[in-house]
C-alpha cells in the first residue's frame, strides 16, 4: 500500500515545521508540501494532488475555510482535515460547510492526527471531542430547535429519524443494527436515504443537522 500523501498549511513557521517533522515520523505518511497560507495551500494541492490537506483555519491572504472550499470544489479527490486552536461556532460550522472531513484541535497527539488523516482519505469523518461539543452547541442555536421534534424534517421517515438520532448519539451502523434489531445492510440503506434527503455528506453533518432541526435536543 502506498503512503498517504499530505500537504499541510499553517502560517506559523514553528508550527508548520513542527507538524512537518511529526508527520514525517508517522508510518505510512508522506509530506509532499507545506504552505504558509491558504493561497499556497491551494496551489500545492493543484500541483501535488495529495490525498489529504491538513490545514489551519486562521491564515493570511486566504484562510483555512476558503482554502477548504476551493480545494473541495476544484480538487474533490483531496480530502481536508482542519487542525486548529479555534473551536468557536463560526469556525467549526464554516469549515464543515466548506467540506472539511475532519476537525482536530492543536493539542491532538500524533496518533490522533494519523487516525484523522487516514480516516479522511477513506472518506470517513473524525471530530475531536472539543470540536464535537462546539459543533453540537452551535447546531442547537442556544437550545431552540428550528422546528418541533415531532415534525418530520425533509421528508424523513420515522425509522430514518430513529437512525439519525442514533447517529447523533455516536453509534456505528453495527451498533444501530443491534439497537433496532435489523440487519446492518438495512441500516446502511436508511443512512443513504436520510443523507440524500437532507443533503448530508457525512456523519459530522448528520449530527449538526439532527440538533439544528430539533430531532435531537439533549
pLDDT digit string (tens) for 4-28?
999 999 999 999 999 999 998 888 9
Please state, in angstroms and as integers, the Cα–Cα distance from residue 143 to each residue in 21, 88, 98, 218, following that order: 42, 16, 24, 9
DSSP state of 45: H
List own/partner pairs for 20-24 with CB under 8 A and 24 or more apart: 22/110, 22/113, 23/54, 23/113
Find the farthest-apart pair of alpha carbons in the chain and give their distance in angstroms, rounded: 52
pLDDT digit string (tens) for 96-134?
788 888 888 888 888 889 989 998 998 888 877 766 665
d(CA 157, CA 198): 12
DSSP E strands, 19-96: 29-35, 52-55, 79-84
Structural contact between residues 197 and 209, judged by C-beta atoms closer than 8 angstroms: no
CATH code linked to domain 4-138: 3.40.50.2300
The residue ranges of every structural domain in the chain are 4-138, 141-212
The fold of 141-212 is Arc Repressor Mutant, subunit A (1.10.10)
Overall pTM surpassing 0.85 (yes/no) = no
What share of the chain in percent tops pLDDT 70? 86
Amino acid at each position: 500500500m502506498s503512503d498517504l500523501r499530505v500537504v499541510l498549511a499553517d502560517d506559523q513557521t514553528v508550527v508548520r515545521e513542527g507538524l512537518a517533522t511529526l508527520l514525517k515520523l508517522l508510518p505510512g505518511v508522506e509530506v509532499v508540501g507545506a504552505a504558509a497560507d491558504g493561497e499556497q495551500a491551494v496551489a500545492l494541492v493543484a500541483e501535488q494532488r495529495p490525498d489529504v490537506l491538513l490545514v489551519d483555519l486562521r491564515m493570511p491572504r486566504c484562510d483555512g475555510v476558503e482554502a477548504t472550499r476551493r480545494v473541495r470544489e476544484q480538487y474533490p479527490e483531496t480530502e481536508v482535515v482542519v487542525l486548529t486552536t479555534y473551536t468557536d461556532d463560526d469556525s467549526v460550522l464554516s469549515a464543515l460547510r466548506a467540506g472539511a472531513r475532519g476537525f482536530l484541535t492543536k493539542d491532538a497527539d500524533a496518533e490522533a492526527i494519523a487516525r484523522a488523516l487516514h480516516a479522511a482519505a477513506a472518506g470517513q469523518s473524525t471530530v475531536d471531542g472539543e470540536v464535537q461539543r462546539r459543533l453540537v452547541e452551535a447546531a442547537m442555536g442556544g437550545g431552540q430547535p428550528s422546528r418541533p421534534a415531532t415534525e418530520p424534517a425533509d421528508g424523513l421517515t420515522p425509522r430514518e429519524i430513529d437512525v439519525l438520532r442514533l447517529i447523533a448519539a455516536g453509534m456505528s451502523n453495527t451498533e444501530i443494527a443491534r439497537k433496532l434489531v435489523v440487519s446492518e445492510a438495512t441500516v446502511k440503506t436508511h443512512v443513504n436515504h436520510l443523507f440524500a434527503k437532507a443533503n448530508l455528506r457525512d456523519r459530522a453533518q448528520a449530527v449538526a443537522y439532527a440538533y439544528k432541526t430539533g430531532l435531537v435536543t439533549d
